Amino acid sequence: MRFKLGLTGSIGMGKSTTAKLFAEAGCAVWDADAAVHRLYAPGGLAVGPMAKRFPDAVENGEVSRAGLKAEIARDATALAAIEAIVHPLVQADRMAFIAGHFDAIGVFDIPLLFETGGDAEMDATACVFVSRETQRFRVLERGTMTEGDLERILARQMPNEEKCRRATWVIETDTLEHAKDQVSKIVTEIEGRLADA
List all residues 6 or more positions away from 14 whose beta carbon is below 8 Å from its beta carbon. Answer: 128, 130, 138, 171, 173, 179
> What pLDDT, on the 0 to 100 scale, is given for residue 139?
92
Other Cβ atoms less than 10 A from the Cβ of 20: the count is 16
CB-side neighbour CA atoms (13 Å) of 133: 1
Task: Give the pLDDT of the chain (197 residues) as one tens digit per residue.
Answer: 999 999 999 999 999 999 999 999 999 999 999 999 999 999 999 999 999 999 999 999 999 999 998 999 899 899 999 999 999 999 999 999 999 999 999 999 999 999 989 999 999 999 999 999 999 999 999 888 888 888 888 888 899 999 999 999 999 999 999 999 999 999 999 999 999 87
For 129, list phi and psi in degrees, rounded to 5.
Answer: -155, 155
Fold of 1-27+104-197: Rossmann fold (3.40.50)
d(CA 185, CA 191): 10
Domain ranges, ordered by start, for the chain: 1-27+104-197, 32-103
The pTM (predicted TM-score) of the whole model is 0.90
